[in-house]
């Protein structure tokens, strides 16, 4: 039903600016009486971070920034939902226009700047819901914060018992200086203080780290070394990129500042995923995100080292039918590779992707 509705609405939404179209989609999900999807094929089940996922397909942070529709998204068939990014204090983000749809490239550039209702409102929404399904929340620092690490610690304290996992987003390109937290010293202090908060508050939320696709090999070595030494639960690879590949067709919009997502991000983010997988050496699972636009793209992410995958930008162009397409592609890959579980596919192509 939802896929059919999207196919009817898509032509009209193309004449609406991207941020307005996104707001309309959230409003529709708030109001639509969506039936729950049927049970997933049991072969799609994944164990990761000490959690049991019905299927490995999730929606990435950025779609439901303020946790307005997490349960509606679950009913679309996602195996997990990540809301946010949420900042401690409300902030409006960057001036509009700040989202640009590159239709000919199946890509999006955004410079939202972590626009957020703030922790207090989002805590209220999550505390009021009946918990079901696996929910994560993406945390970010306020633009004007004088102690960004303290922001993350306080955010974890507030959300650590309201979600199954939290993501420390230190890789958004739209908050000045935020990516500096990917440096070894800053990152070590950040993880140490958040982990201490988890212990002191008896919190249960797993701690994940989301990184940029633009770090070099030396920076990646440092990030993974610290993550492993501190014993976090996992990593998400990757956020949007500030690079602009020469292959982009829409040369005018390509000049807009912000993070590029969608199809052009697939290759660099998958290479980064494979390199991360090799460095992690099985110590914790990874979530692969960036440029997934088809079922085979998701299968490639799993082969590169992802236990779970996330999408967002492709929904703008393909709609929710893509969710079931990905599940079917994974099942076909399992049959093709004579695998009895998704876990058996993880990392089979990591060496090829890492060398790409």
Q: What are phi and psi of 156, to 5 degrees?
A: -65, -40
Q: Please tell me the distance from the alpha carbon of residue 215 to that of residue 300, in angstroms, as a whole number.
A: 21
Q: Which residues contact 299 (CB under 8 A, 6 or more apart)?
A: 329, 330, 333, 345
For residue 210, what is the enclosing H or E element? strand 206-211
Which of these, 327, 293, 329, lies nearest to 56 by C-alpha position? 327
Q: Please tell me the distance from the alpha carbon of residue 213 to that of residue 238, in angstroms, as a whole number.
A: 5
Q: Please tell me the distance from the alpha carbon of residue 299 to that of residue 339, in angstroms, as a whole number.
A: 13
Token pair, residue 58, equals 């999730």
Annotated catalytic residue: which of 116, 171, 172, 203?
172
Q: Please tell me the distance from the alpha carbon of residue 291 to that of residue 106, in angstroms, as a whole number.
A: 9
The yes-or-no answer on residue 7 being catalytic is no
Distances (CA, A) of 183 to 21, 206, 282: 36, 22, 23
Q: Please tell me the distance from the alpha carbon of residue 29 to that of residue 123, in angstroms, as a whole number.
A: 20
Farthest CA pair distance, the chain: 53
Is 291:269 a contact under the CB 8 Å cutoff? yes
Question: Cβ–Cβ contacts within 10 Å for residue 347, how many?
Answer: 22
For residue 59, what is the enclosing H or E element? strand 57-59
Compute the C-alpha angle 113/109/186, nearest 5°.
Answer: 45
Question: Cβ–Cβ contacts within 10 Å for residue 21, how many?
Answer: 18
Compute the C-alpha angle 47/48/49, nearest 5°.
Answer: 135
Sheet holding 107-110, edge to edge: 99-102, 107-110, 259-262
Question: Which residues are catalytic, by number?
Answer: 172
């Amino acid at each position: 039903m939802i896929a059919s509705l999207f196919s009817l609405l898509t032509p009209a939404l193309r004449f609406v600016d991207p941020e307005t179209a996104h707001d309309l989609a959230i409003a529709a999900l708030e109001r639509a009486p969506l039936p729950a999807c049927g049970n997933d094929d049991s072969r799609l089940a994944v164990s990761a971070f000490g959690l049991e996922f019905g299927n490995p397909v999730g929606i990435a942070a950025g779609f439901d920034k303020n946790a307005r529709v997490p349960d509606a998204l679950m009913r679309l068939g996602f195996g997990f939902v990540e809301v946010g990014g949420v900042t401690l204090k409300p902030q409006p983000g960057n001036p509009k226009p700040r989202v640009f749809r590159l239709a000919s490239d199946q890509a999006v550039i955004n410079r939202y700047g972590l626009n957020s209702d703030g922790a207090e409102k989002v805590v209220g929404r999550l505390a009021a819901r009946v918990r079901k399904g696996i929910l994560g929340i993406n945390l970010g620092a306020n633009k004007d914060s004088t102690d960004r690490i303290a922001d993350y610690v306080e955010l974890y304290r507030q959300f650590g018992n309201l979600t199954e996992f939290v993501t420390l987003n230190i890789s958004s390109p739209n908050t000045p200086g935020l990516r500096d937290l990917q440096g070894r010293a800053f990152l070590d202090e950040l993880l140490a203080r958040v982990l201490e908060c988890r212990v002191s508050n008896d919190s249960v939320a797993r701690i994940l780290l989301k990184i940029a696709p633009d770090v070099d090999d030396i920076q990646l070595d440092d990030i993974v070394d610290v993550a492993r030494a501190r014993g976090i639960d996992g990593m998400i690879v990757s956020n949007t990129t500030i690079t602009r590949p020469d292959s982009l067709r829409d040369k005018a919009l390509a000049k807009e500042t912000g993070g590029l997502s969608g199809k052009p991000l697939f290759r660099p983010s998958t290479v980064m995923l494979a390199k991360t997988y090799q460095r992690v050496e099985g110590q914790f699972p990874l979530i692969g995100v960036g440029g997934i636009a088809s079922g085979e793209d998701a299968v490639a992410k799993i082969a590169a080292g992802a236990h779970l995958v996330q999408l967002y930008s492709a929904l703008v162009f393909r709609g929710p039918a893509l969710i079931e397409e990905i599940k079917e592609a994974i099942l076909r890959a399992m049959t093709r590779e004579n695998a009895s579980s998704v876990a058996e596919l993880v990392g089979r192509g990591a060496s090829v992707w890492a060398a790409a």
